[in-house]
Structure formats: structure tokens, C-alpha cells
Amino acid sequence: MKKLENKVAIVTGGARDIGRAVSLKLASEGAKVVVNYFDNKEDAEATQKMIAEMGAESIIVQGDMTKAEDVKRIVEEAMKAYGQDIHVLVNVVGGIVGRKKITEQDEAWYNFLMDVNMKSCWLCTREVVPHMPRGGAIVNFSSLAAKDGGGPGASMYATAKGAVAVFTRSMAKELGPDGIRVNAVAPGTIATSFHDRFNTPENRERMKGIYPLRREGDAADVADLVCFLACDDSDYITGTNIDINGGIFFS
């Protein structure tokens, strides 16, 4: 018996990088996966093809997770395809977007960073919870930056991810009596296009020498942890923000 057999899972930002790895991992354990994407349909179609090749089911749904109407539509599409229950929600959507010192930041920057990282998580949770039965699981994405303040110019990203960590604990308390678990993962440096855009090869090599495990993580490392938190293997774990960073930071 697969660990998520006949469960329905929504993965926001589920078409590429860590989101794709999560979608594939949940599908490999029997979940019917609703893969959300923002603007790259080709990535989403490629992910759906990979899921089909393993004999699993998925649908792809475009949507901006900072918009309430788009979030509602994704939930509606999930129920249209797979029934009224949504068992797993993984809030992957988020990102650093860019780097700016405090004196370079304006209100639009603040609002965008908070929206894409925190508001998206809040909107999706609010919309999915009414359709989540007992035994359901929500997995949010915080970050190492939420714990150490982030790198230069990443203050609003770190702050928003800190908000996700606190929101996770709040929802664990609120939803626990309904049998719904809420946890977060806090990745460090994971080898994805995120770091291809916002880090330098020299810094990444330097950091490898600092990590106790002497390597960057990969998307599959994170997906394995997400799957653990989404399935009954972690039935008595809720309200956690679990570090996955190769040992560079201990909370």
C-alpha cells in the first residue's frame, strides 16, 4: 500500500524545481496531484507527463496564488477532477525575487515580497481547510533565511518566511482539534534555478566547504521530507519548522 494512496494533493508552484520534485514524490506514493503553475505551461505539462509515466494521476491548473479568485478556482478544479476532499496542501509558492537594501525598498517591494511568500500561503490554507478531512496535512515552505535573517538584500524575504513559520504554528494549534496537521520545512541552499539566479557560483562553492555535509541539497531531499510530513508516518508531528540545510544551522 502506497503512503498516499487515493489521497488528493494540491502543490502550489508544483511545476518546476522543488515543486516538481514534490509533485513527483507525492504521485509516486499514490496521490492524485493538482499541479499549480503561474506562467510556464510547458514546465507544468512536462511535470504532468512525468507523473503519467509513473502510472499516477494529475491535473495542471494555472493560477496566481496571491489572488483569491485564482486560489478558489484551483480548489474548484481539484474537486471537479477528484471529489470533495483535499487531503494534502503543499504551499511551495514563494521566492526571494531580488535583493535590495532597506534604503532601496519601497512599498510595492514590501507588498510583493509579503504577498508571494506569506499571502499565498494564507489564501491557499483558508480556501483548502473547509475541504480537508480529519487526517489531512498542510506543509508550508519557510526558509533558513527566516532563522538567520537571510543574506545581503534579503531582509523582506527573510521576514516573510518568518511570518510563514509563525503562521504554521498558529494553524497547527487552530486546526489540530479538527485532525489536521500543519508543518513547515526550512530549506537552506538547494540546487535549483532559485540559486542559479540569486547566488554566485563562487559563493555556492565556498558554502559547500562550510556545510558539515559538504554539499548543497537537491530538490529530492526536500521532497522526501515533504512526503514524510504529508503522510501518516508523521501522524504525531505538527507545528514544526524542520531544518533541511546540511547542518549549517541548528534551531
Grid look-up 512525468 returns 50
Catalytic site residue from 37, 82, 110, 157: 157
How far is Cα 63 from Cα 112, in angstroms, rounded to an integer? Answer: 16
First to last CA, the chain: 35
**Apex 130 CA angle, 127 and 135, nearest 5:** 115
Which helix (H) or strand (E) is 139 found in, with range?
strand 137-141
DSSP string of 21-44? HHHHHHHHTT-EEEEEESS-HHHH
The neighbour count for residue 5, using CB atoms within 10 Å, is 11
Burial of 155-181, coded b for 16+ CB within 10 Å and e otherwise, reads bbbbbbbbbbbebbbebbeebeeeebb
**Backbone dihedral angles phi then psi of residue 14, each to the nearest 5 degrees:** -90, 10
157 is a catalytic site residue: yes
CA–chain centroid gap for 222, Å, is: 10
Q: Strand, helix or coil at 126?
A: helix
How far is Cα 87 from Cα 6, in angstroms, rounded to an integer? Answer: 9
Q: What is the CA radius of gyration of the chain?
A: 17
Catalytic residue numbers, as ranges? 157
